[in-house]
Amino acid sequence: MTDTGNIRELVLDSLIEILEKGSYSHVILSQALGKYQYLSKQDRGFVTRVTEGVLEYQIQIDWMLNHYSSIKVEKMKPVIRTILRMSVYQIVYMDRIPDSAACNEGVKLAIKRKFVGLKGFVNGTLRRISREKENLLKELSDPAFPWPWIRYSVPEWLYDMWKEELGQEQTDRILSAFLREAPTTVRCNLSLASKSEILDSLSAQVAQVSQSPYSEKVLLLSGYDHLEGLEAFLKGWIQVQDLSSVFAGEAARPKKGSYILDVCAAPGGKSLHMADMLAGTGMVEARDISQAKAALIEENRDRAGFSNVCVNVWNALEPDPGSIEKADILLADLPCSGLGIIGKKPDIKLHMCPEKLETLRKLQREILSVVWQYVKPGGILVYSTCTIHKGENQENTEWFLKNFPFEPVDLTGQLGDRIQELSQKEGQIQFLPGTYPCDGFYMAVLKRKI
């Protein structure tokens, strides 16, 4: 590892951007690691783990800090608060980092950021937590611990909402799954390369490659350095895409020559899946609201070399008379709360609130009220979100079916024998982490009446 102080400063700056300024973690981490490409694999791993780890365990870390700090977390100066959080994460959750090193580096950071007068406070707080961490962890794991949302490091309102909607056992299963490390899930573009070609390429560069038991198209990767350095990725043979999202394409079942419209497509995983299924025929039109989002889709399309994908900038709330009754399949993977991908983007739980959920639910209905008319009579609409929230999912589908000329498509058997959800008969599935090895994801497959 290079200079530990400089590496920890990079973590500190990243966390301040995310926690104090509201930036997105995946954007900040990508920018930071892109700027410092000379960092070793070990250094990049440290930056990523501590940054994401603090976000993942922030609620639990703050509980620990409030136990042993003379100043409550919300009253601390932002820089000091962030230094303490990242230091506590190293002390409590990283066995390979000596507690003394985490404490000393935290003090050095405070001095370097011109908080010399608070170095004693930082040192004392971290030393106390270091001495008491075993007791803290024991208390958290006690079945009688009275605050389960702290055990799982999620906001109380979120725990209570899921407990009411899903029950405590299912909620605990979901939240436990979010805290487990998961491999990278990729989908194979089998119209571009055979499965054996893809596996041979990956096996030469990736420590571990395994086949998902849920889909022949899906592989699980771990032990690699840069995704962008993998031959199979550079050739467009694989696309990072969660298993649940792959199911959305499988459920749509496009026929050769179809015209498919994806109205909120970035970064383009579902659009490219459809293009791959069309095997060079038909056309997939991928739209999104900004040029930046369109550029993400174009980057993935161009890497794979799909000629049957066109990309356009379009606000899904704006009606498009030229698209009315044109689409054989319309994909509406709409802006949502993202509560199903907390395991990958833990800052979501820190920025979301019940008021935002309601705003998003209304936005989804507004978009659906516009885009439904693009579906041909007899065509398919796939409504999906990467969240776990009845208001954005089942309730929106119920509302849509009452107000527009669509009916559910029976999905029984379309997604393989391992998917046994009774709701498939009604054209809907809510995938839950802990029940399935995937993100929290909802989809409804609906057919426009003739």
Per-residue three-class SS string for the chain: CCCHHHHHHHHHHHHHHHHHCCCCHHHHHHHHHHHCCCCCHHHHHHHHHHHHHHHHHHHHHHHHHHHHCCCCHHHCCHHHHHHHHHHHHHHHHCCCCCHHHHHHHHHHHHHHCCCHHHHHHHHHHHHHHHHHHHHHHHHHHCCCCCCHHHHCCCCHHHHHHHHHHHCHHHHHHHHHHHCCCCCEEEEECCCCCCHHHHHHHHHCCCCEEEECCCCCCEEEEECCCCHHHCHHHHCCCEEECCHHHHHHHHHHCCCCCCEEEECCCCCCHHHHHHHHHHCCCCEEEEEECCHHHHHHHHHHHHHHCCCCEEEEECCCCCCCHHHCCCEEEEEEECCCCCHHHCCCCCCHHHHCCHHHHHHHHHHHHHHHHHHHHHEEEEEEEEEEECCCCCCCCHHHHHHHHHHCCEEECCCCCCCCCCCCCHHHHHCEEEECECCECCCCEEEEEEEECC
For 12-54, write each residue's pLDDT tens digit: 999 999 999 989 998 999 898 888 878 888 898 899 999 999 9
Share of the chain above pLDDT 70, in %: 99
pLDDT, tens digit, 9 for 90 and up, residues 113-163: 999 999 999 999 999 999 999 999 999 999 999 999 999 999 999 999 999
pLDDT at site 4: 58
Q: What is the pTM of this model?
A: 0.93
pLDDT of residue 3: 56
Confidence band (pLDDT; 50, 70, 90) for 1?
A: very low
Split at pLDDT 50, 70, 90, the class of 5 is low
